[in-house]
Amino acid sequence: MAREDSVRFPGRTLFLTEDPALLTQQLAGADLAWDPERPLIDNISTDEITPGWVCYYYDETLAEYCLVGLRGNAVQRNDVKSGGFSVIVSGRSKGCGSSRETAPYSELKSGVQLVIARNIEKIYSQNAQNIGLLTSTDFGLVERIARGEAIPLEEFTRGLDPISADIVRGGGLFEYSKLRMAGERTPPAITTAARPMTLTEKILAAHAVVDLKNDRVGVPALAPGDALFVRADVRFSHEYVTPMADALFRGAFGDGARVTDPASVYTFRDHLTFLDDVMSEAHKKMGLREVAHRLAVVQEDFSKTQGVKHYGEVLNKVGRGSQAICHNAVIEDIALPGQVVTGTDSHTCMAGALGCFAFGVGSTDMANAWFTRDVRVRVPESVLVQLTGSLRPGVSAKDVMLHLLSQEYFKDGRGIGKVLEFAGPGTRSLGLDERATLTNMSVEAGGFTGIIEADELVVDYLAQKRGLDPDAVRARIVRADEGAVYAHRFDVDLGALGAMVATPGDPRNGIALSALPGEVKIDVAYGGSCTGGKKADMDMYASVLSRAVAQGRRVAPGVRLFIQFGSQDIREYAEAKGYIEVFQRAGAELINPSCGACIKAGPGVSERADEVTVSAINRNFPGRSGPGKVYLASPYVIAASAIAGRIVGPDAV
């Protein structure tokens, strides 16, 4: 239903303040006057809005748990829902992290109409638009709302592209899509004249949907700011999201609706495979075990009904587990250079290592894309990351990303919505797995995605891995034009970088390992996830652990080392290289593929707030991998720290 020309916000305003006492007072019924000098919480991740266990629900139950993961534990069940809040105000980078649409959905269903923040992360913003939750970065609205003023709707569409503005006016994506499919709404024609284009712009131009009804695709040129729908070559979802998207799909298009082109749609049972191993007794008593198991059942039913390929569970000598983490499988089995790949996970961008435009979306975008085969995009600006030189021994792509993320450009939100395009001889010196780390962690910069132009290394990989014709792969490669315009440029000499860590709370907290203040003892060392469970990562773990074993050393007393494979192909690689024996002799606990500890859903999570973990995962937002403190580091540092019992570099072993 279309919105009125102006909006009133009759409820209360919740200021997410850094002072937990003030937050508690508001939740108890006290109202705060607006004070622009009062510090507000920055970098509120979607993990804090709806922690992983909350996402087992995908209906209005989510409203009961809105913000229960917020740092400080001030928000309890039903606090937001019963508080009568219509506006939430916070600091910079609201909605960073996971693409989970459950986060803005929980806010909307708890009665919140508007979210105001210094800047708002790209996926969260798009999810909010899709479901009808208003957002703004204008703090001037706070006092106007407090006075009871009706705010013109144009205040919330100013600065948006025409498609997004229409979606906001219409109250959500599905309402817009129905009008679009009926011919009553037409995206603006692309009139951009020929110009030198970035890698991203060229791929999007080739996939621009010109005429949905007659299936016409492709325009001569695009420029940042152009709004359009692009044809997706690959659409995938995991069990956290498939059930919600399925419910939305049937609700919007009817119970008998069929997925269009099911051969390009994939589902993955890869997030909650080991949940039973770590679920707390409190959560079991809440019935969450059964709720979580239901997600896998609904996903499998959807996959069978719609005839899409499903990557499920396996049982082998390591035990039970997933066939693969979705991002690893997309690189191994599915994506190709020049394609548009979309998935219901923020780390979909990992596939950009193959030279495709890959990005994460929420449940509503995916449900809509199942029917239309396309996804809306506002052409993003690109940031050029020019890498030169070569990495020194013991330094990895993870260190490169922790260095980049620590730059003020990303810490203050200027990277939000931009593409990180990696280029230069330093990029070419990296293997495919290391390139995948660069693109995977681009989203931690607030980026739209990361991308690397495909080359002969990619051609050889796809020819050997999938048996593809090398010439056919080469023909798919897209290259940036000479003279393409970039919003910013970073020049990084790989040879000048050393080992890095990100201190707890945010992956943008990167510092040199040598700058760590004092000795940081650890309880857990976790090597796994899509970022840290690749073949090259196994090489790194093995290089350190084999030295330790040769010295007669094992994992330090009181420390648990977990090594988790990203796919069964990676597990078989480790076995063939003899790594599994090395890992076991060193005292590591081996785990089959799954997202697991990265989302607090498998072995390797912390169990107490005073525990310290050093982890190869991609983000360390509060509560994401357990209640303890999480330091991010490279596979080299993970393995060395496990042996030493404290965070150290590989040269310490």
Q: What confidence score (pLDDT) does residue 1 get?
A: 60
Helix axes 456-466, 432-440, angle to 10 degrees: 100
Mean pLDDT of the chain: 96
Alpha carbon distance 478, 203 (integer Å):
7
Two structure tokens written together for 440: 């995977």
3-state DSSP of 161-209:
CHHHHHHHHHCCHHHHHHHHHCCCCCCCCCCCCCCCCCHHHHHHHHHEE
Can you tell me whether residue 573 is helix, strand or coil?
helix
- Per DSSP, the chain holds a count of helices (H) and strands (E) of 25, 28
For 368-405, write each residue's pLDDT tens digit.
999 999 999 999 999 999 999 999 999 999 999 999 99
pLDDT over 70, % of the chain? 100
The domain ranges of the chain are 6-170, 500-652
Q: What confidence score (pLDDT) does residue 213 get?
A: 84
Is residue 612 within 8 Å of 631, Cβ to Cβ? yes
Per DSSP, 66 falls in state T
For 572-605, write each residue's pLDDT tens digit.
999 999 999 999 999 999 999 999 899 888 999 9
Q: Cβ of 330: how many Cβ atoms within 10 Å?
A: 25
User: For 200-326, where are the E strands, in sequence order?
Assistant: 209-211, 216-217, 227-231, 234-238, 265-268, 309-311, 313-316, 319-322
Two structure tokens written together for 68: 């229960």
For 331-360, write each residue's pLDDT tens digit.
999 999 999 999 999 999 999 999 999 999
Alpha carbon distance 536, 532 (integer Å):
9
Two structure tokens written together for 644: 């030493």
Helix axes 568-576, 535-550, angle to 10 degrees: 40
Alpha carbon distance 93, 516 (integer Å):
26
The residue-averaged pLDDT of 252-257 equals: 93
* Per-residue confidence band for 317, with pLDDT thresholds at 50, 70 and 90: confident
Q: Which CATH superfamily is domain 500-652 in?
A: Aconitase, domain 3 (3.30.499.10)
CA angle 215, 161, 13 (to 5 degrees): 130
- Flag whether pLDDT at 2 surpasses 90: no
Report the amino acid identity of residue 137: T
The residue-averaged pLDDT of 89-118 equals: 96
- Flag whether pLDDT at 167 surpasses 90: yes
For 465-521, write each residue's pLDDT tens digit.
999 999 999 999 999 999 999 999 999 999 999 999 999 999 999 999 999 988 999
Q: For 435-448, b where at least 16 C-beta lie within 10 A, e where not — what string?
A: bbbbbbbbbbbbbb
Q: Which CATH superfamily is domain 6-170 in?
A: Aconitase, domain 4 (3.20.19.10)
Within 13 Å of residue 54, how many CA atoms lie on the same side as its CB? 30
- Flag whether pLDDT at 128 surpasses 80: yes
